[in-house]
Amino acid sequence: MEIRPLADKIVVKAITEETTSSGIVLPDTAKDKSQKGRVVAVGSGRLLENGTRVPLEVRAQDVVLFEAGSGVKVKLGDEEYLLLREADVLAVLSESPALV
């Protein structure tokens, strides 16, 4: 089965990190309030009143940061995904260092 989000919705596969880079295991209470995930699919964009679509800023395969507890959990087969609005995304993470 495949999931195709509509409008300004995105499908995200959560990235869970249970240990720090030094190998320390973090309990749930010590984890950050925001979560990371990889975008699996994106909708066609938000529809404006004049009938035009605003394309989404996130793309499939982007790693995004979003608030914990946002979105709707969806289970397809053995995989669990989150269905989020693009507005729920706080930032897109990149591998390259940011220029200041």
**Summary mean pLDDT of the chain:** 85
Q: What is the pLDDT of residue 1?
A: 77
In angstroms, rounded to a whole number, what is the distance separating the alpha carbons of residues 58 and 79?
22
The answer to whether the CB of 85 falls within 8 A of the CB of 9 is: yes
pLDDT band of residue 17 (cuts 50, 70, 90) is: low
Task: Please report, for the chain, the start and end positions of each structural domain, with discontinuous segments joined by +.
Answer: 9-93
Q: What is the pLDDT of residue 15?
A: 87
The count of residues in the chain is 100
In whole angstroms, what separates CA 99 from the centre of its chain? 24
Q: What is the pLDDT of residue 2?
A: 85
Q: Supply the DSSP string of 18-67, one letter for each residue.
A: -B-TTSPBPPGGGS-SEEEEEEEEE-S-EEPTTS-EE--S--TT-EEEEE
Per residue in 43-80, pLDDT (tens digit) is: 999 999 999 999 999 999 999 999 888 999 999 999 99
pLDDT band of residue 11 (cuts 50, 70, 90) is: very high
Look up the pTM and report it.
0.77
- Lowest average pLDDT, out of 15-19, 26-30, 34-38, 42-46, goes to 26-30
Per CATH, the number for 9-93 is 2.30.33.40
